[in-house]
Amino acid sequence: MAMEHHAVKHTALHRRHLDLGARMGEFAGYMMPLWYSSIKEEHEAVRNGVGLFDLSHMGEFFITGPQAFDLCQHLTCNDLRRIGDGQCQYTLFPTPEGGTVDDLIVYQQTPESYMMVVNASNIDKDYAWVTKHNRFDCKVENASEAHSLVAVQGPKTNALLEAFGIKGIAAMPQFTWKRMKLHSRNLIVCGTGYTGERGFEIIVANEDAGWLWDALMKVGEQFGVKPIGLGARDTLRLEMAYSLYGQELDDETSALEAGLAWYVRTGVDFIGVEKLREQEQAGPGRKVVGLVVTEEKRSAAPRHGAPVYSAEGEDIGEVTSGSFSPSLEKGIALASLKKGYWEPGMQVQIEIRGRRMNAEIVNLPFYRKPKPKKKAKAK
């Protein structure tokens, strides 16, 4: 079968990435910045300061109408009643067989108005899925091509956004969102991110993307803001053990098998709920767990697809995502392992560059923010 060649798309900020000297690469049909300086430097900027991401390749769907809630709940496995207006929820689209079409965030404006932010590589597939199942009185609009998304992530996010003009941002909790006007432009400000740090994702019309990026870069100078590529985005999300579609999740893998039981609420009705109830009862046969390489070789970065063996040498699964962790200074991996190999503290081996290296199953996430030290009370 002849492969169709689609022209690679550019985000509205493409020129700026080139001017900043970004190393570009293709991701989900877009030319995207992989890194500007180095993955390690950009990773540390987000952990300790503040970073700016162009995530305009992500998809945005708007669902409106009297039965918008019903459609959103029919499609997703989390309990949508748990959020109210101005809140959002991480959730997944299960298949009737219990696999996963995509993971996403649903944003509720009112029970008659929702936004869904979906993965870049799945926009067309997801839109087809949502419209195919829309037997409800509501309208679904795929507005992905018309919008740009810039994420601001890191401990200095509040300071930067306050200086940029979003007043009272520090009081805005994570997993809430609001529409607002700034300098007569429309912004959708979302307390969401993929880094484990304080952060926001700001959605604007494409024609406002350049203005937003430039203003945030300029205001951010005093806070040491850095542009961040997809390379550090991946190491940041992996340290937090956040799933990446196509790696931890796919059409064949359920939310339970991906270790996302917390987001599956089988007390509500949705596509695939029967299969997920069965799996919940029996327990999944495999599950994604966290591994840390315990050997001293600093270069030991596990790679996607690498086999994992028990201490006795039995093949027990494979790595779904792996990397060298800048924060832990160790190789870390998420791996899908069979039942019996999920206990933190268990010793296993990962094949890295042709040799088996020792690793240990650990509690997730890999990275936890150090607690601020308590100041000693003055006598």
Secondary structure of 219-259 as H, E, C letters: HHHHHCCEEECHHHHHHHHHHCCCCCECCCECCCCCCCCCC
Of 176, 175, 164, the C-alpha closest to 213 is 164
Instruction: Please give the Cα distance from 44 to 296 (Å, whole number).
Output: 22
**In the chain, where do the E strands start and end?**
9-10, 23-27, 30-35, 51-54, 59-64, 87-94, 100-110, 113-118, 139-142, 147-153, 177-182, 185-190, 199-205, 226-228, 286-293, 307-310, 315-325, 330-338, 347-352, 355-362
Instruction: Please give the Cα distance from 201 to 333 (Å, whole number).
Output: 26
Instruction: Please give the Cα distance from 202 to 186 (Å, whole number).
Output: 10
Q: Which tokens go with 310?
A: 């028990």
The DSSP bridge pattern shows strands 51-54 and 226-228 to be: parallel
Residue ranges of the domains in the chain? 9-57+145-238, 285-368
Residue ranges of alpha helices (H) inside the chain are 14-19, 39-48, 68-75, 123-132, 157-164, 209-220, 230-239, 273-282
Domain 9-57+145-238 annotated CATH 3.30.1360.120:
yes
Superfamily of domain 285-368: Aminomethyltransferase beta-barrel domains (2.40.30.110)
Instruction: Please give the Cα distance from 149 to 80 (Å, whole number).
Output: 24
Of 165, 72, 152, 56, the C-alpha closest to 115 is 72
Per-residue model confidence as pLDDT tens for the chain (379 residues): 555 567 999 999 999 999 999 999 999 999 999 999 999 999 999 999 999 999 999 999 999 999 999 999 999 999 999 999 999 999 999 999 999 999 999 999 999 999 999 999 999 999 999 999 999 999 999 999 999 999 999 999 999 999 999 999 999 999 999 999 999 999 999 999 999 999 999 999 999 999 999 999 999 999 999 999 999 999 999 999 999 999 999 999 999 999 999 999 999 999 999 999 999 999 999 999 999 999 987 668 999 999 999 999 999 999 999 999 999 999 999 999 999 999 999 999 999 999 999 999 999 999 998 887 776 655 5
